[in-house]
Chains A and B, each alone.
Chain A
Amino acid sequence: MNLTQIAIFAAGALLFGGLAALATRDATGRLNTLARRVRPWLMLSASIAALYWLQSSTPIRHLDFWLPTATLGLTVLVWVATLKPRPATGGRRPDQAAGPAILDRRATAITALVIAGIVALIAATRYVDTLCCLTPSRPPEISAVGVAMLTCAAVCGVAWFAQARQLALQAALVTLLLALFVALKTEPLTAGVSAILRSLTGQSVSQASALDVRWLGFSYIAFRLIHVLRDHATGRLPALSLREFVTYVVFFPALTAGPIDRAERFVKDLRGWEAGPDAAAARAEDVTEGLRRILIGVFRKFAVADTLALIALNETNAGQAQSGIWAWVLVYAYAFRLYFDFSGYTDIAIGLGRLSGVRLPENFDRPYLRSNLTMFWNSWHMTLANWFRAYWFNPLTRWLRTAGGASLSPSAIILIGQTTTMTLIGIWHGVTWNYALWGLWHAAGLFIHNRWTAWIRSRPGGPPAAVWRGRLINALNVALTFHFVALGWVWFVLPDVGQAMALFARLFGA
């Protein structure tokens, strides 16, 4: 997002939040009814429009239109696949199970028409030069868009009639999302996808490149969709209307880079704002806090991070640093640049959400001030870590403790869990050796910390340490953790492993 987009989103978010405030003042009157009816539609429409507006340009013709359209199609398809309720599991009461999602056929049909109408309107700007275009390039012909919509409707229809085999359908969708993910993150596969798309658009196949396919926010959208599919399968997902579901998946503040919210938490904010004086005060606080977070985020991202980017480690300057000191300057600059860039973006997203009346989850909690690596990963990109913990680490270790590896020791189970989790988080950024090594670096650090903690706890306790000694040890731990993380970024930022090794040698005086 650039500053102009942030300003426009903030204005829109203030409108959505203003509608909420309007309803809190007039609990039973017409304004309340109007605000309650209009706000959800505005938020849905704005999020869909943002999906197209924020999509970056691509050299493949019309792909900047088709990718957001595919996002909407996948979202609707996943919603259809979660229509039939699942029995509650894990001790939940039956009334907490996912209820029937076709709560109102008329409302669902209207929502579907609104979504289709917005997409058609965006496509129609192709024919009006003065209005063209919300997307970076001219959208495809309206006939092609019509065919795509009918195809999506047909696929959703098939999914609807496949409700009897719901778990198989959901498993297929998870597989599809993961396959798309792998295709988009693996360079040779992405180049192949580009070649196929270019042949369809009549463009030069010889110019195909992995850089051609840039799908805005696909990773985060996939995380939300997989979370919904998994939670529905275990009976933990509440009933969501189509409008609520689509708004949750493509909510405009969190579209590009999260945070990854949970559907059940999100819809509470979307649905519920109670009338009364306390609610009005809470709404006023939302506005001030939202604006504060946006300003902090803009400063962090556009002032601090963009300035640090001038001296932060990258492929080019890694080979130019001739001394160890300058190599450390590059590494430190990158560590802080990455933090301020990512946390700044999160501040903007949370601020926009707060203005809209939605409290998105926090993603950072002073990660570089943590005294061990476990606490670092509980405070860096928290929503991503929580997602992997919930949908990979915990199920895997649970399975290893029971059916899968009853003969494995607890430390072996932890090693497998941490190694696979961190490697997956690494290659989530891209299926390359350097990202895998970065993941393994952190897996090793986490395991070492786990074993160290277990050993410390096994020792008999002694007299309490002096306060100053405790603080000194804590400071050393914080410094050690920070440097471990900072050195890990070398793997992350340099795609060539040899270049990373050369930089490590320079950092340590070789």
Chain B
Amino acid sequence: MLLVAVALSACQPAPQAAPAGATPAAEQSQPASGVAGNPARIIEDYLKARVEANTDAMINLSCADWEAEARKESNSLRGVKARLEGMICAIDAEASRADGSSAFVVCQGNIVANYNGEDRPLPLDKRKFKLVADGGQWLMCGYE
């Protein structure tokens, strides 16, 4: 039963093409700092939690300085039907620090929010996601 439960919770979508110039999440190796989690995967989880308005998950994936903003982002889509379309996130290797203390992730695709039957896309490629390594894991800590 344990294995079934873990397998169900680990269902992942098929990998897609990464943004140009970035390393796809599925192909990335772990940073040398030994920080758990893949930065691009963390941002993908963060965005999935955002469209689900899962505040707890977003806070767990955020650094202390970003928690208040994470709550606001979660509330912004509460009560609205939202989904992710064509989301692919990847590490921006050039911008990320070599010492593994911070990382930047770029994404493509959209958050599609439905307001009274009208879909409104919110593009994901306008900003870079900034992550910091804290407590042995990558955490979302803002935009650049």
Which of A120-134 touch B at CB < 8 Å? 125-127, 129-134
The CA of A57 and the CA of B136, in the complex, are separated in Å by 20
Given contacts A46-B2, A49-B5, A132-B10, contact A141 B36 (CB under 8 A): yes
In Å, the complex CA distance between A138 and B61 comes to: 9
A207 within 8 A of B: yes
The residues of B that contact A207 with a CB separation of less than 8 Å are 67-68, 71
Interchain residue pairs A-B with the least CB separation, the first 4: A57-B56, A59-B59, A12-B1, A49-B2
Among A9, A59, A141, residue most surrounded by chain B Cβ atoms (within 10 Å): A59
Asked if A8 and B1 make an inter-chain contact with CB atoms under 8 angstroms apart, the answer reads yes
Give the distance in Å from the alpha carbon of A137 to the alpha carbon of B46 in the complex.
11
Q: A59-B55, A136-B57 known; A8 and B4 CB under 8 Å? A: yes
* B136 close to A204 (CB less than 8 A): no
User: Is B9 at the interface (CB under 8 A from chain A)?
Assistant: yes
In angstroms, Cα B1 to Cα A58, docked, is 24
Question: Are A131 and B6 within 8 A (Cβ)?
Answer: yes
When distances are taken between beta carbons in the complex, the residues of chain B under 8 Å from A59 are 55-56, 59-60, 67
Known: A57-B57, A133-B9, A134-B2. A204 touches B137 (CB 8 A): no
Return the CB mask of B73-112 against A: 1 if under 8 Å, else 0.
Answer: 0000000000000000000000000000000000000000
Whole-angstrom CA separation of A345 from B91 in the bound complex: 45
Binary CB contact string for chain B from 1 to 18 against chain A (1 if under 8 A, 0 otherwise): 110111011101000000
Interface assignment of A464: CB less than 8 Å from any CB of chain B: no
Q: Which residues from B are CB-within-8-Å of A130? A: 10, 12
Taking the complex as formed, is A320 at the interface, i.e. its CB lies under 8 A from any CB of chain B?
no
Q: Smallest Cβ distance from A39 to chain B, in angstroms? A: 13
Contact present for B37 and A138 (CB under 8 Å): yes
Cα separation A134 to B10 with both chains bound (whole Å): 9
Q: How far is the CB of A206 from chain B (nearest CB, A)?
A: 8
* Contact of B135 with A201 in the complex, beta carbons under 8 Å: yes
Minimum Cβ distance to chain B for residue A54 (Å): 10
* Residue contact B41 to A137, C-beta cutoff 8 Å: no
Q: Could you say which residues of chain B place their CB within 8 Å of the CB of A204?
A: 64-65, 67-68
- CB contact list, B95-144 vs A, under 8 A: 134-137
The distance from the CB of B66 to the nearest CB of chain A, in whole angstroms, is 9
**Would A53 and B10 count as touching, CB distance under 8 A?**
no
Q: Is A498 an interface residue (CB 8 A)?
A: no
CB distance from B39 to the nearest CB of A (A): 12
Besides A42-B1, A207-B68, 6 other CB < 8 A contacts?
A: A15-B1, A126-B36, A134-B2, A134-B6, A136-B60, A141-B135
Contacting residues, chain A, for B71 (C-beta < 8 A): 207
Q: Which of chain B's residues have a CB closer than 8 A to the CB of A8?
A: 1, 4-5, 8
What separation, in Å, do the CA atoms of A71 and B59 have in the docked complex?
24
Q: Which residues in B have their C-beta under 8 angstroms from that of A58? A: 56
Contact at B2–A138, with CB atoms within 8 Å?
no
Interface residues of B (CB under 8 A from A): 1-2, 4-6, 8-10, 12, 36-38, 41, 54-57, 59-61, 64-65, 67-68, 71, 134-137
Interface residues on A, range: 20 to 34
A43-64, CB < 8 A from B: 45-46, 49, 53, 57-59, 61
Residues from chain A with a CB closer than 8 A to the CB of B38 are 129
Inter-chain contacts of A126 with B (CB < 8 A):
36
A202 contacts which of B2, B9, B64, B68 (Cβ < 8 Å)?
B64
Establish whether residues B1 and A11, one from each chain, have CB atoms under 8 Å apart when the complex forms: yes
CB neighbours (8 Å) of A201 from chain B are: 135
By beta carbon, the residue of chain A nearest B136 is A141
CB pairs A–B below 8 angstroms (23 shown) = A8-B4, A11-B1, A15-B1, A42-B1, A45-B2, A46-B2, A49-B1, A49-B5, A58-B56, A59-B55, A59-B59, A61-B60, A61-B135, A129-B38, A129-B41, A130-B10, A134-B5, A134-B9, A136-B57, A136-B60, A141-B36, A203-B64, A204-B68
- For the complex, would chain B's binding face be called helix, strand, loop or mixed by DSSP majority? helix
Q: Given the complex of chains A and B, what is the CA–CA distance between A89 and B6 in angstroms? A: 47
> B56: shortest Cβ distance to chain A, in Å?
4
Contact of A138 among B6, B10, B54, B137 (CB under 8 A): B137
Q: How far is the CB of B137 from chain A (nearest CB, A)?
A: 6
B10 cross-chain contacts in A, Cβ below 8 A: 130-132
A28 located at the interface, meaning its Cβ lies under 8 Å from any Cβ of chain B in the complex = no
A453 proximal to B (CB < 8 A): no
The listed residue with most A CB atoms (<10 A of its CB), out of B37, B55, B60, is: B60
Q: In the complex, which residues of chain A have a beta carbon less than 8 angstroms from the beta carbon of B54? A: 57
**Which single residue of chain B is at the shortest CB-CB distance from A207?**
B67
How far is B134's CA from A347's CA once the two chains are assembled, in angstroms?
A: 45
**Nearest-CB distance from B21 to chain A (Å)?**
23
> Nearest residue in B to A127 (C-beta to C-beta)?
B36
Q: Does A316 contact B (CB under 8 A)?
A: no
Give the residues in chain A near B137, CB-CB below 8 Å.
Answer: 138
Render A117-155 as a binary contact track against B, CB cut-off 8 A, 1 for contact. Answer: 010000001110111111011100100000000000000
Residues on B with C-beta less than 8 A from A45 are 1-2
Closest to A12 in B: B1
Report A1-28 residues with CB < 8 Å from chain B CB. Answer: 4, 8-9, 11-12, 15
A11 CA / B1 CA spacing, docked (Å):
8
Complex Cα spacing A42 to B134, Å? 37
Docked CA distance A93–B122 (Å): 75
Q: How far is the CA of A423 from the CA of B36 in the complex (A)?
A: 48
Residues from 295 to 345 in A contacting B, C-beta threshold 8 Å: none
Q: Which chain B positions have C-beta within 8 A of A137? A: 56-57, 60-61
Shortest C-beta distance, B68 to chain A (Å), equals 7
Within 8 A of B (CB), among A85-118: 118
Which residues from B are CB-within-8-Å of A202? 64, 134-135
Which residues of A sit under 8 angstroms from B36, Cβ to Cβ?
126-127, 138, 141
**Measured CA separation A200–B36 after assembly (Å):** 19
Q: A4 is contacted by which of B8, B57, B60, B67 (Cβ under 8 Å)?
A: B8
